[in-house]
Every structure is written in structure tokens, then in C-alpha cells.
A and B are shown apart, each in its own frame.
Chain A
Amino acid sequence: MKCGKTPLSFRGIAWCNLKRRPFRTVCLISLVAVLACVLFGGSAIIGSVVSGTDGLSKRLGADILILPSGYDKTIEGILLRGEPSTFFMEREWAEKIYEVEGVIAASPQLMVASFNASCCSIPAQIIGIEQDTDFIVEPWIRTSLPGRLSDGDIVVGGAVSGKPGGRLNFFGREYRIAAKMENTGTGFDGSIFMDMDSARRAARDRSEMTGDPPPPGGAISSVAVLTDGRFTPNAMADRIYSRFGYGKSGIAVVPAKEIIGNVSGGLRTLAGFVTAFAAVLWLLCVLALSVVFSVMTNERKREFGILRSLGITRKKLASLVVLESAAISAAGGLTGIFLSALLILPFRVYIKTTISMPYMHMPPAQMLAAAAGSLAVSFAAGMLASLCSSARICARETYGVIREGDA
């Protein structure tokens, strides 16, 4: 809209007041924009990380994981950061654990890491599952794959490139992508799932290539355990340890919550810190804007006096001020969110590695909600700040009386 033209509307008065004072307007907009930028940036990053770990704890339906001792950090890397590993333990552990009182399900997995070489399409974590006992990935693969996984079929995580029907090579063998899962924001997104027998063959293929010792016959890497809930995961871990002998058994019993808990504990601190920072910033912003609006209102006394002398009511004059600050707040909020998105999206990868949470994940709907929330909160800051000024216009006679001294 262009200023300087007639006819002029009431809204046009507000618009031209903003447009004809570009420096003042830009300064005010910037102030709100900074607020919105921080609010949206903060909520987007924290939201992604939180929903990433939420996804993980939902996906990992196990109470306890049994691993070869010393591999508890390795499993964290696989689940949280998608760092592929290969390790083995004996098949018997699945049955042994199943016999412990309180265990209602125990299912083995086999972990094989593919690598970045001509033999393999991509470096990825291959996870073999026992389809008869599995309760972790099975129900979740079910949603994308109706039947059973037959030999040579794989299900790929959401971040793996390739479509259903496509092919991927691992250790010189070709596999058919039977299904692709949704992104979950966990290490599973970069994983390849196959049947236990196929995975054992892949492990043998791998050791032939690397020269590593071949896996013992019927090897597994981990056992996922579901308990009946009579004992806490920690108590269950103690029972398993005491049954098989601390230290001597060669296994690590890790309550699943501990893996996720490590992350979410740190997250909670981070989220709290960012929230506190945002709150302080919000208050500062409201204060600064209040001062600016108040100074501005004082400076515009004569302008308001002229409008009053021309017959504008107090209410309408206040609504003019509200209209102007609403435009500033909205423009500032939108600019800030836009800038924030511009900063976050290209640097997503960098941010992920910096906070060592590669599996950040925020569904678009949630992203939109964060944007709308940040916009609302920064808009509210601008409006709140102008409230005092407009209330003063409504209440006092100052803005009607023009004296020589006022210029």
C-alpha cells in the first residue's frame, strides 16, 4: 500500500504512521523479531530433541536389555546416535533369561555393522530379529509390512535412502527392500532390519571380508526383555545378576530407562535453562518495548492532540495506537520466526552434532505449533507493552490540550 494517496482509511493512518517513520518502525520490529527468533529457535530445537527421545522410549518397548558385558555404551550409540557396531554373545542367553522369574518375554537381536566400502551400499546398523519372539520391532514393522520377512528381505529405517522394491547390497549380497518405516527420531532411522538367519549369514559374509573371527554358531548380540512389572527394572537387573553371578556371567543387564534417562535428564536441564532464558528475555522485551512505547506516546502528544481536535474519540485514538503496535508485533513475530527457520534448517546437521543428538525429529505439525506459539507469545509481548500507553490515552486529558510549548 502506498502512502500519500487519497482517499485515506482509518487503517491507512496507522499504516502511513509506520511507513513514514521507517527507522522507528524497523527498530521496534527488530526488537520483537529477536524475541520471536529466540522463542521459536529454542522451542524447535528442544521440541525436536524431546520428541526424538519420546520416540525412542516408545519404540523400545523393552524393560531391560541384556548385552555382552562392556557393551552398554555401545548400545547407547546404536539407539541414540545411530553408530553401527558388531558384537556377539551366545544364543543360550535368550532362553536362560526367559527362565528368570518375572520375565514374560525375551527376544534376541543380532547387531552387524556394514561399512563404507564397495561391498556395501551404505554404512548402517544391520539388526537381525527373531520373528517368532520379537516384540520390539516386530509390531512396528507390521504397520509397514503385512507378512513375514522372508530370506533376503529387509525393512529399512526412515532415514535410509531407497524405496520399497529397491535393492541394497551388503557384503556382496543383494537384499530387497520390503518396506520402509516412518522416521522416529531414533537410531533405528538409519538401521536395516532382517530375519535372524539372514543376519547371521551377513555376519559370516562380513567376517570373511574383514578377516575378523567368524561369529559362533547361532550367535546373538543382545536380548530384549519384557517383565511382568512385579519388580522395577533395577530390581530385575539385580535378580538376573545374582542368578548368573556378578562379573562371572559376562553379561551386562541394562534397564532400558537408563539409556534413555541419561539423555532425557540432560535434556530436562537444557529445556529448563532455555525456558528460563526465554522467560527473562520475554520480560526484558516487554519492559524495553513499554519504555519505547511510552516515550513514543509522549513524543507524539502533539500528533494525538491534533487528531483529538479534529474529533477523534479517545477510544479510536487508543485503537490507532493498538493497531500500530499490533502491526509491529505481528511483523516482528513473523520476521523473527522466518529468520529462525532460515537459521535452523540449513544448520540442522551442525546443531545435531553440537548437542550430540543426531536423531532430532519434529513432525511438521509440531513445528507449526511451535511457530504459532512463538508468534503468539511475542505478539502478546508487543501488545502488552503498548497497553499502558493506550490506557493513558484513554484516561487522561493531556492528549487533547495543545499548548505553545508542545511541538
Chain B
Amino acid sequence: MIIEALCLKKKYFRDENSFMAVDGASLSVGEGEFVCVTGRSGSGKTTLLNMLAGLLPPDSGSVTFEGREYGGMNDDELSELRNTRLGYIMQGPGVLANFTVTQNVILPHVISGREGDPTDRAMSLLEQTGIRGLAAQYPSSLSGGELRRVAVARALLMSPKLLIADEPTGDLDEETTRGIMDLFSSIAKEGTAILMVTHDAETARRCDRRYDMKAGRITSPGAHLG
């Protein structure tokens, strides 16, 4: 098991009232697995992923990544984990406008403070994601699908064990969606586990297993598909 979440809860406040954005969600992703979470907008998917990435502390419940529990880790340790073991592709545009495509892709390396020049690796990832020709461009000149590919290449830079993607095809047309899904399938085949959120049942069919989320709860137990 790469990641395992047990009974995660997160309460939010809106005006005077509180409500459970995530209400006792449990899930797990194994080595090299391609797992999907589906659910309608507002069902708590993003909140769940933020907790799984260690960006948001849950009110209760636990997340264990490669045997280490987030609860016992400080900010430095969690950041290091996100930097090297876990690739996170956030919902919406997730590329920094002040940096070129290549610079964006090597950001995790810059943040890590490690020695060496990751440019060659970034180039081969851009090749793999099919946007090698845009390497020197600034994000403002890229389309939504291209931006998503930049985010994917960047998430893969440090060779993480798990890729978490929050609606990576949410705002893309069918054709582009298929291209991204093909890319994910090939990444999964190469051994990187993927946890992907989508509100599109069609897209979810490409996954090995699938969880359903409704009002903060996981309603289907992550059954194997096909």
C-alpha cells in the first residue's frame, strides 16, 4: 500500500453554520494502481485530496504514506514528502505565470535544493507529455490541455511513487481528455500509482478501481472495474 486514509473528517464553517466537507472517508491506493474518485461538485473531493497530500490537516482520521503517518510529521517532513514522493496536480490552472514551461517543470528540483541540472530530465518528460516544442514558452501562450501537460510533467520530475490529480480533465474537450487519459494510463503502466478525481463517469472507466463520493462520504468501496 502506498497511501491509506482512515476515516478522514474535515469540518468547514460557512457564515454561522458548520458542515462536514469530508465526513469519514477511507481509501487506499496500492503500488502502481490507477484509482479514481468520482463525485459531484461540492462533494468534498478536493478537500479529501488536500488532506491526502498533507496540505490540509484533517480534524480526525489518519493518512499513512509508505508506512508513515502524517500525524507524526512536521511541516518540513511533509513538504519533503510532497516534494519527492508525491506528485500533486491541482484543480484548475496550476502553472506559475512568471516562469517558462521548462522552468515550471524543474521547480520541484529547485525547491528540493539538490545539486545537478534537471533540464535534461525535464526535456524528456516534456517529450513524453507531448509538449517538447513549447519548452521555452511562457504559460500565457498555452492552451488548457497544454497547461495540464506541463503540470503532469512537473509532477513526474522527482519520480514520485504516487500521482494525485484533481480533475485533470475537468475543463478539457473530449479529444484533449482522451490524450491526457492515455498519458495517465502509460504513466500507470510504468509503475507510478495514480489517484485521480473526476466528476465524469466516462473518464473514470479508464481506472483500475473507483471510489464514489457523496456529501463528504465514500459511498462505493473502491470496487475493481471491468
- Spell out A's residues near B (CB within 8 Å): 3-10, 12-13, 16-17, 20-21, 303, 305-316, 397, 400-404, 406-407
Is there contact, CB below 8 Å, between A16 and B98? yes
Q: Is B84 on the interface with A (CB-CB < 8 A)? A: yes
Given contacts A6-B103, A7-B118, A400-B50, contact A306 B96 (CB under 8 A): yes
Min distance, Cβ A159 to any Cβ of chain B, angstroms? 54
- Spell out B's residues near A (CB within 8 Å): 41, 46, 50, 53, 55-57, 75-76, 79-84, 88, 90-100, 102-103, 106-108, 110-113, 117-119, 122, 136, 138, 154
Min distance, Cβ A11 to any Cβ of chain B, angstroms? 10
A342 to B80, CA, bound (A): 49
In the complex formed, the residue of B with least CB distance to A310 is B108
- Between A and B, 14 residue pairs with Cβ closer than 8 Å are A4-B103, A10-B113, A13-B99, A13-B110, A307-B96, A307-B111, A309-B55, A309-B94, A312-B83, A400-B56, A401-B50, A401-B56, A402-B46, A407-B93
In the complex formed, the residue of A with least CB distance to B105 is A6
Min distance, Cβ A382 to any Cβ of chain B, angstroms? 21
Given contacts A306-B96, A312-B83, A401-B55, 6 further A-B contacts (CB under 8 A): A16-B99, A21-B98, A310-B88, A400-B50, A402-B90, A404-B92
In the complex formed, the residue of B with least CB distance to A11 is B110
Is there contact, CB below 8 Å, between A402 and B50? yes
Is there contact, CB below 8 Å, between B110 and A8? yes
Is there contact, CB below 8 Å, between A311 and B111? yes
Is there contact, CB below 8 Å, between B122 and A6? yes
Is there contact, CB below 8 Å, between A311 and B84? yes
B95 contacts across to A, CB distance below 8 A: 306
In the complex formed, the residue of A with least CB distance to B80 is A311
B118 contacts across to A, CB distance below 8 A: 6-7
A3 to B96, CA, bound (A): 13
A306 contacts across to B, CB distance below 8 A: 90, 94-96
A16 to B154, CA, bound (A): 19
A401 contacts across to B, CB distance below 8 A: 50, 55-56
A7 to B122, CA, bound (A): 11
A16 to B118, CA, bound (A): 19
A21 to B98, CA, bound (A): 8
A403 to B92, CA, bound (A): 8
Is there contact, CB below 8 Å, between A310 and B82? yes
Is there contact, CB below 8 Å, between B55 and A404? no
In the complex formed, the residue of B with least CB distance to A308 is B55
A400 contacts across to B, CB distance below 8 A: 50, 55-56
| Most B CB within 10 A of own CB, among A13, A309, A403 | A309
Is there contact, CB below 8 Å, between B94 and A402? yes
In the complex formed, the residue of A with least CB distance to B85 is A311
Is there contact, CB below 8 Å, between A307 and B98? no
A303 to B57, CA, bound (A): 20
A397 to B58, CA, bound (A): 12
Is there contact, CB below 8 Å, between B122 and A313? no
Is there contact, CB below 8 Å, between B91 and A403? yes
Min distance, Cβ B224 to any Cβ of chain A, angstroms? 29
Q: Which of A6, A303, A305 meets B106, CB within 8 Å?
A: A6
Given contacts A7-B119, A401-B56, A404-B91, contact A311 B108 (CB under 8 A): yes
Is there contact, CB below 8 Å, between A20 and B98? yes
| Most B CB within 10 A of own CB, among A13, A17, A397 | A13
